[in-house]
């Protein structure tokens, strides 16, 4: 399916403000893909489809998580996390996407994970820093692209975890493992 057809199908599933977010993620992902030598077409497909299941019925998403034998731990966390793995399912079964890197970029765009590919990092970061985002600290996160993709990703996952902790919300284990992965890449803390 070509990208313009994908965009039209996605537009029908989302409210206007969420569709505008998808367009912002798309533009940001293309910019980051060019900068960090990731295939633009993969970034475009993952960006277009990253929120395809965002407004799906919760009971339906729960049934997909169970029937597709996704991580059952998802069901113990806020349903806000469900649209990412269910979105990967929708991308595969409704849009014919079979590139595992693209599917993982969709699957982990809300939680991150240890050992992410560059495409996965780009979609996670683009989702957080696209131009429509207006939270405290977003401009600082955007400026980190000069320091590299891993620096941006680490700062974004840290910001996400800190936000959840500030709201007394549980943090999904993949997010913690993602943060630990980047922390360990820098080596041991000097005493």
The reported pLDDT for the residue numbered 77 is: 94
Contact (Cβ atoms closer than 8 angstroms) between residue 19 and residue 11: yes
Residue 188 confidence (pLDDT):
56
The pLDDT of residue 187 is: 65
- The pTM (predicted TM-score) of the whole model is 0.94
CA distance 150 to 124: 11
Calculate helix-pair angle for 118-129, 149-166, nearest 10 degrees: 50
Token digits for 68? Answer: 């597709």
> Which domains are assigned to the chain?
3-183 (1.10.3210.10)
The per-residue DSSP string of 22-65 comes to HHHHHHHHHHHHHHTT--HHHHHHHHHHTTTTTTS-HHHHHHHH
- Assigned token pair, 158: 């840290």
At 1 the pLDDT is 77
**Mean pLDDT, the chain cut into blocks of 10 residues (191 residues total):** 92 96 98 97 98 97 97 94 98 97 98 97 98 93 93 96 95 97 74 50
- What pLDDT, on the 0 to 100 scale, is given for residue 41? 97
- Other Cβ atoms within 10 Å of 19 Cβ, number: 16
53 burial class (0-12, 13-18, 19+ CB within 10 angstroms)?
buried
Helix (H, G, I), strand (E, B), or coil: what is residue 102? helix
Rounded CA separation 27/90 (Å): 22
């Amino acid at each position: 399916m070509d990208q313009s057809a994908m965009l039209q199908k996605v537009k029908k599933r989302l409210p206007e403000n969420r569709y505008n977010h998808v367009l912002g993620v798309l533009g940001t992902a293309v910019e980051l893909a060019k900068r960090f030598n990731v295939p633009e077409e993969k970034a475009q497909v993952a960006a277009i489809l990253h929120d395809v299941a965002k407004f799906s019925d919760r009971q339906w998403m729960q049934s997909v998580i169970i029937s597709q034998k996704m991580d059952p731990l998802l069901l113990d966390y806020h349903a806000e996390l469900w649209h990412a793995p269910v979105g990967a399912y929708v991308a595969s079964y409704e849009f014919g996407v079979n590139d595992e890197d693209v599917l993982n970029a969709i699957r982990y765009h809300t939680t991150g994970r240890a050992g992410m590919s560059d495409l996965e990092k780009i979609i996670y970061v683009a989702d957080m820093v696209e131009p429509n985002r207006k939270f405290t600290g977003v401009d600082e996160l955007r400026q980190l692209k000069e320091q590299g993709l891993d620096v941006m990703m680490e700062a974004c996952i840290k910001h996400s975890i800190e936000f959840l902790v500030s709201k007394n919300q549980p943090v999904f284990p993949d997010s913690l493992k993602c943060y630990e992965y980047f922390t360990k890449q820098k080596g041991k803390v000097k005493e």
